[in-house]
Each structure stands twice: as structure tokens, then as C-alpha cells.
């Protein structure tokens, strides 16, 4: 007697749960029961769970009966001739989808030759367990799962060509790699997913060694010569757009070169690149604060009375200008109409990005790092055959992460580059390491991939032989040019008088809660005070009532609005944000009284 649950509800009992489950599955394969139904028998609690609710993750498997897969050669021939497709296989009951529960009752064989009569299912392909991008990692059966995960995550951030018509598109934050290459070491998924038609990386010569400590903490060293030859060069595109919005009372924005009488007029120099229509011309070189689209807007606060009066009819400046630190060349200008029928101007700025210190690179194995140093070609180490690496990778990145796949790709890449062919690194069915080593040996190199190298600066032979080969490297979209930021002084917020936040607003670098704690635990109280001084103010405080008093600079007199001028008034230095808080407490009807006392 087993309890039966349908979608988590108790519906009754069955005498023979095994038989019951089997009959349900048979009916499903025949098509009598919906394909979405899954059934699971829990032998421990003797319960049968039937599920057909939505939201379950299910995966496809080939059905096996009496140790033989239902998928036959005939099916495969038909598939190849395009006579049938996958859904026909599912409808015929040759393949089926299992959910996490029913999987518990299944015995799935990885390969066809492993099948026994106990098996219920056969894996479609061992790589079916991987996602699209995970299966782009070569030799990934030789690396920990966490690294493959990281590897596929960083591949999504690689620069490449995202769309063939990028030249006429107005997308935000676009990076186009100038000379992408197909990977020498690929997987079957590179072919299946059309990756080779829009690759996102380059094959480079990588040496695994340290270089003066400039590649510690996962940093990489790149060759200046390679950079000059165009390694990892890309273009960054950013569109700006301005629309002539309509406001109440027939007023509209106007795209034009702003008048000098306008409120908030910048300076003549800022508008110099605008043409007569108020829009910048293509191929103009722009720098910080240059206006890209000149625009004026009607006055902001229009009350009913002065709507038509001349005095307040001063338009205000609302041009689009290059942001702080931004530079580039105007690439593309369009003038169209928005959905509402307003005039819409879109201008795309292009900026060539040559790899620099701080740009982020990654291999396909989750081994990401930033450029630590760009070394001139003459100072780079070289092999006895004169090969200079494009990139130096730190050996310290390997032991704890155990990405053997990284090393295998280096070796396979070397074989591929030397023999002029692509190497298959598909997970579980890659070319065997032993074969690659033999091939490398027959090509006249050491079978383990190491080579004698020489110091580029002194010409001395290095004591250790260096593991060097070819790898596929990708430049990621995180580039210092978009992120570098510093501030010594700058704008403050109107409300709190504290520094603004964020790079775009030239903001301060936050000294957070935990950083504050480090000051305190060192006992550096005075330093701590100084660091938080950015919004300090001197306020007069009435010693009688403990509220803020008033200081009249013109009359050189201080008085308390409540107690008059016959009281002691002291000047106290406090944070402006605190003064603001006390004001807000007062607005809530709370009386915050300051009780003053000499501190020193």
C-alpha cells in the first residue's frame, strides 16, 4: 500500500506502486497522458508523487529498454535526411524529459557502451549536462566546476562583434574588437553555435612565468610589440540623444546653438564644434565639456500669471556635453523623429581603446586578471627559437584553482599553431593529452611544452625552462578608461554639504563603516575626525535653550530667536549633516537640546 500524491495533494493509495509508476510512464510515452507529467516513487516512505505543475526544470534523455536504446540507426538516418526532428522523437517516446524527482528513479548511462539491462535511460550526449557557454570551455572536464562556471561567466563579458550591423545601430556601451580570431583550440559547440562567425578573442603566445612581480595577484604582463601590432585593440561606442520635448502652453525644447542671453550659457569654446543646426559634425574630435548637441529648454517654473510676460521668458541651457573625463571622435549623427513625433537627434561617439595597464583580460578557464605592466618587446623574455610571448601569465594562479584545462589548452594551442590546424577540446571527448604531446615532440619541441628562455634585458639564459604555448585570450568589457577616478576637491551635495557620490559626478571616495573602524581600532581619533571634516560647520548655539541661535554678520551681533540677545551664545563646530538632522527633528516636533560643555 503506497500513498499517492498528485501535485502535492493526497489523492489515494495504490497496491503496487512500482507497477503503477511504470504504467503511467508507458501511457505517457504512448501519448495517452500528457508529456509534461512526471512520476516518482519514493521507496523509503513508500509514496508515489505525480507532478504536472509548471515551473519544473526538466532535461531530455533517450529511453532505454532491455539494455537497448530506443534511438536506432534508422532514426539517425532519418534525422540526417531531415525527415524527422527532435519533437518527433519525443512524440514517438524515443526520448523523454525527466524532472528532478523522476530522475531519482532513473539509472542513466553516460555512454552507449556502458548500458546494462538495469539502465532506464541514456544520455543524449555527455556535454548535454553543460550550458551553451560552459561547453565553450575547452578541456573543461579537467577543471573544477567553480572555475568552469567563472570561465563561462567571464566569456559573456568578452569584447567581440555583437551584431553585424553595429555600424548603423545606436546601442548603449558597445565594444567592438578590431581583429577577432577563431580559437585554435575549440569545442564542438564553437561549430554548433556559430561562434566561429563572431569570435570574441585572439590567439596569443602565453608564457607561464613571473616577471619582476608585476604579475602578482592574477595580473598579466603584455607585450608592447603585440599591442602595437593591434593585440586586443577595440573601439568603444556611446550614443548621446536629445529630444525636442513639448511642454504645456505650446513651449518646446529647441535644438540649436544656444544664444548668449540664455540662462546657464557655458562658454563660446564649449560650443565651437556645433554646426548651424546646433548639432556637432561627424569626425569631430571631442574632449571633456565639449557640447555635442546644443539645446535650450523653456523656463522651469511657469506660474499662470507670468506665462506670457516677457520678463521671465528666459530660456535655459540644456545641451548635451561630453562627461567628465570623456573623449573621442563623433562617429555617426542621425536626426529622426521620436514616437511622439518630436525631433530626435542621436549622436554616437567613438573612442579607440588600446590595451593599457588595468584593462581586464581572461582565458576561457576563469583565470581573469588585469594588465599589470606593458613591456617593450625588446625587454620581453624570448625562446631559443626567437619566439617572444604576447602575454605572461603568473604560475601562482594555478595551484589553488587547479585549472588543468588552462594548461592543456596552452599545450593544445601550441600543437595547433605549429601544425596549422584546429584542435578539438570538447569536454569528455577531446583529443587525448598523450597524442598532443607526441605530436608536439614530432614537431621538434619538448613534449611537455617547456622551452629554454632568455632574459630579454640581459640576454642571460633562465635557469628554469618555461612552459610556453598558444592560448585563446579575451579582452573583457571592463576597461580602466571607463572606471578610473580620483578626487582631491570637488562638488558637494546641496542638502547635506557632503561630497557627491559616483564617478560621473566627480564624487568623493567613500570612507565606509569598516574603514572608519580601522581608524578607531588604531586609536587614531584625530585622524578620524579630520577625515569626516568635509561637511563641518560653525554654528551659534544658545546656551540657555540649547537650540541654534542666529548670527547677524552685518550688525556683528548674535541672538537667540527664543531667548533674545541677553543670553550666552557659543560657536560650536559640528557636522552639517547633524545640524540638518536636528532641524528635521524640530520639524517633527521633537526638541533636540544641545548641552554645551568645555571639552578641553
Partner 1 sequence: MTDEIFKEYEEKLPKLIIDEIKANLPEKADAAKVRKILEAVHAEYEKSKLDAGECVGLLSAQSIGEQGTQATLDTFHFSGVSEMNVTMGLPRIIEILDARKTISTPMMEIYLNAPYNQKENVKKQALLVKEIKLKDVATEFLVNIADMIIKVDIDEQKLKDLDLTLANLSKTLSKAMKSLKIKQDTVSIIAKLEDKDANLNSLYKLKEKLKETHISGIKGVTQVLPVKRGSEYIVLTAGSNLKAVLALEWVDKERTTSNDIYEIAATLGIEAARETIIDELLKVIKAQGLKIDIRHLMIISDTMCVSGAIKGITRYGVVNEKSSVLARASFETPIKHIMRASLVGEEDKLHSVIENVMLNQVVPLGTGMPVLKAKKKE
Quick one: 521 or 566, whose CB is closer to Zn ion?
566
Indicate which of partner 1, Zn ion, none lies near residue 525 (CB less than 5 to 8 Å, by partner kind): partner 1
Among the listed residues 218, 277, 331, 379, the single catalytic one is 218
Nearest residue to 399 via CA among 138, 136, 139, 147: 147
How many whole angstroms separate alpha carbon 246 and alpha carbon 254?
A: 10
Rounded to the nearest whole angstrom, what is the least distance from the CB of residue 590 to Zn ion in the complex?
17
Q: Would residue 218 show up in a list of annotated catalytic residues for this protein?
A: yes
According to the binding rule CB under 8 A, does residue 585 interact with partner 1?
yes
Residue range at the interface with Zn ion (CB under 5 A); choices 144-152, 256-264, 301-309, 538-546: 538-546
Rounded to the nearest whole angstrom, what is the least distance from the CB of residue 549 to Zn ion in the complex?
6
Indicate which of partner 1, Zn ion, none lies near residue 528 (CB less than 5 to 8 Å, by partner kind): partner 1
What's the start-to-end Cα distance of the chain, in Å?
85
For residue 122, the surrounding DSSP H or E stretch is strand 121-122
Rounded to the nearest whole angstrom, what is the least distance from the CB of residue 563 to Zn ion in the complex?
3
Classify residue 531 by its DSSP letter.
H
How many whole angstroms separate alpha carbon 210 and alpha carbon 360?
A: 18
Question: Which residues partner with 205 through β-bridges?
Answer: 470
According to the binding rule CB under 8 A, does residue 599 interact with partner 1?
yes
Strands (E), 394-522: 423-424, 450-451, 453-454, 466-475
According to the binding rule CB under 8 A, does residue 324 interact with partner 1?
no
Binding mask 488-527 for partner 1 (x = CB under 8 A): ----------------------------xxx-xxxxxxxx
How many whole angstroms separate alpha carbon 522 and alpha carbon 525?
A: 8
Backbone angles phi, psi at 337, to 5 degrees: -120, 145
Rounded to the nearest whole angstrom, what is the least distance from the CB of residue 44 to partner 1 in the complex?
13
Q: Judging by beta carbons within 10 Å of its beta carbon (0-12, 13-18, 19+), is residue 79 exposed, middle or buried? A: middle
Number of residues that bind partner 1 (CB under 8 A): 31
Indicate which of partner 1, Zn ion, none lies near residue 591 (CB less than 5 to 8 Å, by partner kind): partner 1
According to the binding rule CB under 8 A, does residue 306 interact with partner 1?
no
Indicate which of partner 1, Zn ion, none lies near residue 560 (CB less than 5 to 8 Å, by partner kind): Zn ion
Which residues touch 486 (CB under 8 Å, ≥6 apart)?
509
How many whole angstroms separate alpha carbon 250 and alpha carbon 232?
A: 51
CB burial readout 549-574, b (16+ within 10 A) else e: beeeeeeeebbbeebeeeeebeeeee
Indicate which of Zn ion, partner 1, none lies near residue 128 (CB less than 5 to 8 Å, by partner kind): none
Rounded to the nearest whole angstrom, what is the least distance from the CB of residue 47 to partner 1 in the complex?
13
CB burial readout 481-515, b (16+ within 10 A) else e: ebeeeeeeeeebeeeebbbeeebeebbbeeeeeee
Candidate list 370, 542, 569, 582; residue touching Zn ion; CB under 5 A: 542
For residue 406, the surrounding DSSP H or E stretch is helix 404-419
According to the binding rule CB under 8 A, does residue 290 interact with partner 1?
no
How many whole angstroms separate alpha carbon 387 and alpha carbon 383?
A: 5
Indicate which of partner 1, Zn ion, none lies near residue 11 (CB less than 5 to 8 Å, by partner kind): none
Indicate which of Zn ion, partner 1, none lies near residue 510 (CB less than 5 to 8 Å, by partner kind): none
As a residue count, the chain comes to: 600
Residue range at the interface with Zn ion (CB under 5 A); choices 179-187, 418-426, 466-474, 553-561: 553-561
User: How many of the other CB atoms lie within 10 Å of CB of 113?
Assistant: 6
According to the binding rule CB under 5 A, does residue 100 interact with Zn ion?
no
Rounded to the nearest whole angstrom, what is the least distance from the CB of residue 565 to Zn ion in the complex?
10
Q: How far is CA 276 from CA 52, 281, 294, 342, in A?
A: 66, 10, 10, 19
Q: What angle do CA 525, 531, 532 make, to 5 degrees?
A: 95
Quick one: 248 or 538, whose CB is closer to Zn ion?
538
Indicate which of Zn ion, partner 1, none lies near residue 527 (CB less than 5 to 8 Å, by partner kind): partner 1
The alpha carbon dihedral of 177, 180, 184, 185 has a sign of positive
Rounded to the nearest whole angstrom, what is the least distance from the CB of residue 600 to partner 1 in the complex?
5
Residue pair 76/58 in contact by the 8 Å Cβ criterion: no
Quick one: 279 or 542, whose CB is closer to Zn ion?
542
Q: How far is CA 17 from CA 39, 47, 63, in A?
A: 11, 8, 21
How many whole angstroms separate alpha carbon 336 and alpha carbon 341?
A: 9
Indicate which of Zn ion, partner 1, none lies near residue 10 (CB less than 5 to 8 Å, by partner kind): partner 1
According to the binding rule CB under 5 A, does residue 560 interact with Zn ion?
yes
Binding mask 550-579 for partner 1 (x = CB under 8 A): -----------------------xxx-xx-
How many whole angstroms separate alpha carbon 554 and alpha carbon 391?
A: 69
According to the binding rule CB under 8 A, does residue 591 interact with partner 1?
yes
Residue pair 323/159 in contact by the 8 Å Cβ criterion: no
Rounded to the nearest whole angstrom, what is the least distance from the CB of residue 591 to Zn ion in the complex?
12
Candidate list 545, 574, 577, 594; residue touching Zn ion; CB under 5 A: 545
529-548 residues near partner 1, rule: CB under 8 A? 529, 532-533, 535-536
According to the binding rule CB under 8 A, does residue 16 interact with partner 1?
no
Candidate list 37, 262, 539, 563; residue touching Zn ion; CB under 5 A: 563
Residue 518, SS3?
A: helix
Residue range at the interface with Zn ion (CB under 5 A); choices 138-146, 185-193, 545-553, 581-589: 545-553
User: Catalytic positions, please?
Assistant: 218
Interface ranges with partner 1 (CB under 8 A): 1, 10, 516-518, 520-529, 532-533, 535-536, 573-575, 577-578, 581, 585, 590-591, 595, 599-600
Interface ranges with Zn ion (CB under 5 A): 542, 544-545, 560, 562-563
Amino acid at each position: 500500500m503506497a500513498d499517492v500524491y498528485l501535485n502535492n495533494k493526497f489523492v489515494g493509495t495504490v497496491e503496487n506502486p512500482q507497477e503503477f509508476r511504470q504504467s503511467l510512464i508507458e501511457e505517457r510515452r504512448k501519448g495517452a497522458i500528457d508529456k509534461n507529467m512526471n512520476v516518482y516513487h519514493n521507496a523509503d516512505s513508500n509514496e508515489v508523487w505525480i507532478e504536472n505543475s509548471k515551473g519544473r526544470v526538466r532535461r531530455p534523455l533517450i529511453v532505454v529498454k532491455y539494455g537497448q536504446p530506443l534511438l536506432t540507426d534508422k532514426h539517425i538516418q532519418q534525422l540526417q535526411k531531415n525527415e524527422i526532428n527532435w519533437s518527433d522523437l519525443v512524440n514517438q517516446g524515443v526520448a523523454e524529459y525527466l524532472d528532478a524527482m523522476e530522475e531519482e528513479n532513473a539509472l542513466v548511462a553516460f555512454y552507449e557502451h556502458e548500458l546494462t539491462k538495469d539502465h532506464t535511460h541514456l544520455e543524449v550526449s555527455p556535454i548535454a549536462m553543460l550550458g551553451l557557454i560552459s561547453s565553450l570551455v575547452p578541456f573543461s572536464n579537467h577543471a573544477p566546476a567553480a572555475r568552469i562556471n567563472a570561465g563561462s561567466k567571464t566569456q559573456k563579458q568578452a569584447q567581440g562583434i555583437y551584431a553585424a550591423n553595429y555600424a548603423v545601430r545606436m546601442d548603449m556601451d558597445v565594444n567592438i574588437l578590431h581583429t577577432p580570431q577563431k580559437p585554435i583550440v575549440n569545442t564542438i559547440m564553437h561549430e554548433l553555435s556559430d561562434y566561429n562567425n563572431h569570435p570574441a578573442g585572439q590567439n596569443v603566445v602565453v608564457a607561464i612565468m613571473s616577471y619582476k612581480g608585476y604579475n602578482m595577484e592574477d595580473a598579466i604582463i603584455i607585450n608592447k610589440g603585440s599591442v602595437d601590432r593591434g593585440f586586443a585593440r577595440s573601439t568603444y561606442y556611446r550614443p548621446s540623444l536629445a529630444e525636442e520635448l513639448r511642454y504645456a502652453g505650446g513651449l518646446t525644447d529647441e535644438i540649436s546653438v544656444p544664444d548668449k542671453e540664455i540662462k546657464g550659457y557655458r562658454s563660446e569654446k564649449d560650443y565651437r564644434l556645433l554646426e548651424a543646426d546646433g548639432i556637432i559634425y561627424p569626425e569631430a574630435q571631442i574632449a571633456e565639456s565639449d557640447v555635442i548637441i546644443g539645446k535650450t529648454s523653456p523656463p522651469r517654473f511657469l506660474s499662470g500669471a507670468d506665462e506670457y510676460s516677457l520678463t521671465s521668458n528666459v530660456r535655459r541651457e540644456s545641451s548635451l556635453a561630453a562627461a567628465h573625463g570623456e573623449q573621442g571622435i563623433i562617429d555617426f549623427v542621425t536626426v529622426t523623429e521620436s514616437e511622439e513625433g518630436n525631433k530626435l537627434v542621436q549622436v554616437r561617439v567613438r573612442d579607440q581603446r588600446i590595451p593599457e595597464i588595468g584593462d581586464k583580460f581572461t582565458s576561457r578557464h576563469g583565470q581573469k586578471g588585469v594588465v599589470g605592466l606593458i613591456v617593450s618587446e625588446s625587454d620581453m623574455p624570448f625562446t631559443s627559437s626567437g619566439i617572444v610571448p604576447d602575454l605572461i601569465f603568473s604560475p601562482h594562479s594555478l595551484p589553488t584553482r587547479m585549472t588543468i584545462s588552462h594548461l592543456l589548452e596552452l599545450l593544445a594551442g601550441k600543437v595547433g599553431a605549429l601544425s596549422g590546424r584546429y584542435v578539438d577540446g570538447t569536454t569528455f571527448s577531446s583529443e587525448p593529452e598523450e597524442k598532443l604531446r607526441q605530436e608536439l615532440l614530432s614537431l621538434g619541441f619538448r613534449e611537455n611544452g617547456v622551452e629554454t628562455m632568455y632574459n630579454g634585458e640581459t640576454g642571460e639564459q633562465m635557469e628554469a625552462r618555461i612552459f610556453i604555448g598558444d592560448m585563446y585570450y579575451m579582452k573583457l568589457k571592463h576597461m580602466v578608461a571607463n572606471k578610473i577616478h580620483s578626487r582631491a576637491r570637488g562638488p558637494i551635495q546641496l542638502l547635506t554639504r557632503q561630497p557627491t557620490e559616483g564617478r560621473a559626478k566627480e564624487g568623493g571616495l567613500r570612507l565606509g563603516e569598516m574603514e572608519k573602524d580601522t581608524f578607531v581600532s588604531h586609536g587614531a581619533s584625530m585622524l578620524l575626525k579630520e577625515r569626516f571634516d568635509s561637511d563641518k560647520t560653525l554654528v551659534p548655539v544658545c546656551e540657555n535653550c540649547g537650540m541654534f541661535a542666529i548670527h547677524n554678520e552685518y550688525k556683528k551681533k548674535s541672538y537667540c530667536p527664543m531667548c533674545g540677545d541677553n543670553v550666552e551664545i557659543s560657536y560650536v563646530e559640528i557636522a552639517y549633516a547633524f545640524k540638518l538632522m536636528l532641524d528635521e527633528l524640530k520639524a517633527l516636533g521633537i526638541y533636540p537640546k544641545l548641552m554645551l560643555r568645555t571639552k578641553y
